[in-house]
């Protein structure tokens, strides 16, 4: 499942999406809002997304993972809107028969999400705010 | 012809809204739209080179030919997830 | 927290053990009972443990992780007794400011758990059973 | 002196119980216990070289000197976790 949501993210159901009798290893990644970035205290984050396209690109990341690791299963949730410090912005769960593949596929998926899924975040500090620039997309 | 241009993140603030309509000549490419945006919105100009363009939810190269009524999204460098 | 338990494992509370305002990344590993091993259909697993020492060695793995990744936090649960296919035998959760460290520390912890924590598993197939031999401990 | 020897996993089945007591000479080492076990339990013998020994919950080398009443665990190659 590949979903973009405004609701708080719970890793539990994401894990169950990928658990099956052939999966010996499940690796879950949670991207969490940190209280600090480059020495500046973060109050909260605001995520903007091109929603319909973001879900489409998340599915594309899933297809890439399955092309590389055919025995893997993957499920992804990304949140948007306002997120407080300590809240979860991204959950990626990957299962595979063996843990090496599950770890590699999970890292691959995160890297690709950060490269192609059109989502942006604004950091809001005590004394200002800014939209963060990440990866330029290769058109 | 007209294309609908969707704006996100900082671009939305810069232009003052999530969506604009741009008039282009028939057969214009993404590059043509980029140039037109630079003329109509000088504040966008320094950012245009770093943007990707998505047409109907697919990233397209600068030489892609637009059609009337296309929805074009300006995609600034992505910063999804956390922990940049 | 480092715990050995006979009860089913729920990753949720393990994640909360390591979540804090400075953690940008949480990586969770679940070791799950697979239905198949080297082409043989597995009915269930039976885990035996030297319980008091296993908890002590799990804490030692935690100390090693913190020595190498001082900004990390780690929490581990291992189950023992009878486990059915699809059930979780091991949960390792690691948080760190950045995801590279969280992934590396999690993999390191799993490797060390499999090297020094005295736990053993018996595979029970349709037509037999055997205790599995894994890593000899370096005395 | 006497040491209590704890057995796990397949060793428990082999010896027929989770615990045995072994008589050793004063000053015996882990190596001495290993030899004694090989004599008293011939079925253990082929496995002894692959075992680690833990004394009071700490792994010890073969030259470690045992004391009366020590609890010694025989630790066969570990197979915790899943996904060997």
Secondary structure in 3-state letters for C12-77: HHHHHHHCCCCCCEEEEEEEECCCEECCEEEEEEEEEECHHHHHHHHHHHHHHHHHHCCCCEEEEE
B79 interfaces chain C, CB cutoff of 8 Å: no
The answer to whether C25 faces chain B, any CB pair under 8 Å, is yes
pLDDT at D81 over 80: no
- Give Cα separations from C79 to A22, A111, B12, C28, C50 (angstroms): 19, 32, 51, 16, 12
**Chains with ≥3 CB–CB distances under 8 Å to C:** A, B, D
Q: Encode C9-28: b = buried (16+ Cβ within 10 Å), e = exposed.
A: bebeebbebbbeeebbbbbb
pLDDT computed for residue C76 by the predictor? 98
> Cβ separation of C50 and D80 shorter than 8 Å?
no
The residue that leads in pLDDT, A38 or D10, is D10
Structure letter (DSSP) for residue B45: G
For C2, the enclosing helix (H) or strand (E) is strand C2-5
Nearest of B8, B35, B7, B42 to residue B21 by alpha carbon = B7
- Is residue C12 a contact partner of residue C65, using CB atoms and an 8 Å limit? no
Question: Nearest CB to B80: which of A52, A53, A119?
Answer: A119
pLDDT, residue B83, reads 61
Count other Cβ atoms within 10 Å, centred on residue A105.
24
Q: Is the pLDDT of residue C45 over 60?
A: yes
The dihedral region occupied by C137, where left means phi > 0, alpha psi between -120 and 50, and beta the remainder, is: beta
Please state the rounded mean pLDDT for residues C114-120: 94
pLDDT tier, A99 (very low <50, low <70, confident <90, very high otherwise): very high
pLDDT bin (cut points 50, 70, 90) of residue D80 is: confident
Map chain A to HEC letters: CEEEECCCCCHHHHHHHHCCCCCCEEEEEEEECCCEECCEEEEEEEEEECHHHHHHHHHHHHHHHHHHCCCCEEEEEEECEEEECCCEEEEEEEEECCHHHHHHHHHHHHHHHHHHCCEEEEEEECCEEEECCCECCCC
Chain-centre distance for alpha carbon D63: 14
Dig out the tokens for D16 from the structure. 């027929």
Q: What is the pLDDT of residue B81?
A: 73
Contacts of A98 in chain D (CB under 8 A): 83
What is the mean pLDDT of the segment spanning A110-116? 95
**Ramachandran quadrant class, A20 (left: phi over 0; alpha: psi -120 to 50; beta: rest):** beta
Per residue in A39-61, pLDDT (tens digit) is 889 999 999 999 999 999 999 99
Q: Are the beta carbons of A31 and C25 separated by less than 8 Å?
A: yes
**Partner-chain residue, chosen from B57, B62, B84, that has the shortest CB–CB distance to A132:** B84
| Predicted pLDDT of residue B35 | 97
Q: Is B82 on the interface with A (CB under 8 A)?
A: yes
User: Residues D65-70: what's their mean pLDDT?
Assistant: 97
Query: What is the reported pLDDT for A137?
Result: 83
Asked if pLDDT for residue C91 goes beyond 70, the answer is yes
What local confidence, expressed as pLDDT, does residue C133 receive?
78
Structure-model confidence comparison of residues A133 and C4, the more confident one: C4
Q: What is the distance in angstroms between the Cα of B81 and the nearest Cα belonging to chain C? A: 10
Higher pLDDT, C38 or D15: D15
Contact across the interface for A28 and C30, Cβ inside 8 Å: yes
Nearest CB neighbour to C29, from listed A11, A22, A27:
A27
Mean pLDDT in consecutive groups of 10 residues from the start of chain B, 84 residues: 96 93 96 97 94 96 97 92 63
Which pLDDT does position C136 carry in this prediction?
79
Q: What are the structure tokens assigned to C129, written together?
A: 């059973």
> Could you tell me where the DSSP H helices lie in B1-84?
9-15, 30-40
* Residue of D79, D81, D82, D83 to mutate when probing chain A, most A C-beta within 10 A: D83
In which band, very low, low, confident or very high, does the pLDDT at C39 lie, cut at 50, 70 and 90? Answer: confident
Is D73 within 8 Å of C50 when comparing Cβ atoms?
A: yes
The shortest CB-CB distance from D75 to any of C45, C47, C137 is to C137
**Residue A113 pLDDT:** 96
- Nearest Cα residue in chain C from A84: C21
Chains C+A touching (3+ CB pairs under 8 Å): yes
Q: Where does the pLDDT of residue D55 fall: very low under 50, low under 70, confident under 90, or very high at 90 and above?
A: very high
- Altogether, the residues listed in chain C come to a count of 139
Question: pLDDT value at position B20?
Answer: 97
Residue C60 has pLDDT above 70, yes or no: yes
Question: Is C111 exposed, middle or buried (CB count within 10 Å of its CB: 0-12, 13-18, 19+)?
Answer: middle
Tokens of A10: 């719970």
Residue D66 and residue D33 in contact, taking contact as beta carbons nearer than 8 Å = yes
User: Which pLDDT does position A114 carry in this prediction?
Assistant: 93
Chain B CB contacts of C98 below 8 Å = 83
Instruction: Tokens for D51, please give them.
Output: 């075992």
For residues D82 and A24, is the Cβ–Cβ distance under 8 A? yes
User: Six-digit token pair at C136?
Assistant: 């000899």
**pLDDT at site C139:** 56
Confidence (pLDDT) at A67: 98
Q: Is the pLDDT of residue C38 over 90?
A: no
Quickly tell me which residue has 């004599």 as its tokens: D39
Dist CA D84 CA D82 (whole Å)? 6
Percent of chain D whose pLDDT exceeds 70: 96
The token duo for A20 is: 């099956």
Which C positions 73-92 lie with beta carbon below 8 A of chain D? Answer: 78, 89-90
C44, C53, C58, C129, best to mutate vs chain D, most D CBs in 10 Å: C53
pLDDT at residue B59 in the model = 96
Of C33, C56, C114, the CB nearest to D78: C114
Residue D57: its pLDDT value, please? 95
**Residue C81 β-bridge partners:** C47
């Amino acid at each position: 499942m590949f979903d973009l949501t405004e609701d708080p993210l719970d890793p539990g159901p994401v894990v169950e999406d990928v658990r099956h009798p052939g999966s010996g290893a499940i690796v879950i990644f949670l991207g969490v809002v940190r209280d600090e970035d480059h020495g500046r205290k973060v109050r909260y984050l605001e995520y903007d997304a091109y929603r319909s396209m973001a879900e489409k690109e998340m599915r594309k990341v899933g297809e890439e993972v399955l092309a590389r690791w055919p025995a893997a299963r993957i499920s992804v949730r990304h949140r948007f809107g306002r997120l407080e410090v300590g809240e979860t912005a991204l959950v990626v769960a990957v299962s595979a028969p063996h843990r090496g593949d599950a770890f590699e596929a999970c890292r691959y998926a995160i890297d690709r999400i950060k490269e192609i899924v059109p989502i942006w975040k604004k950091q809001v500090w005590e004394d200002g705010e800014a939209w963060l620039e990440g990866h330029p997309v290769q058109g | 012809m007209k294309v609908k241009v969707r704006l996100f993140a900082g671009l939305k603030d810069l232009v003052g809204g999530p969506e604009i309509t741009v008039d282009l000549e028939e057969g214009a490419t993404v590059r043509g739209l980029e140039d037109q945006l630079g003329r109509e919105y000088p504040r966008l100009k320094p950012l245009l080179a770093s943007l990707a363009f998505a047409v109907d939810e697919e990233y397209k190269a600068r030489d892609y030919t637009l059609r009337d009524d296309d929805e074009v999204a300006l995609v600034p460098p992505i910063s999804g997830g956390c922990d940049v």
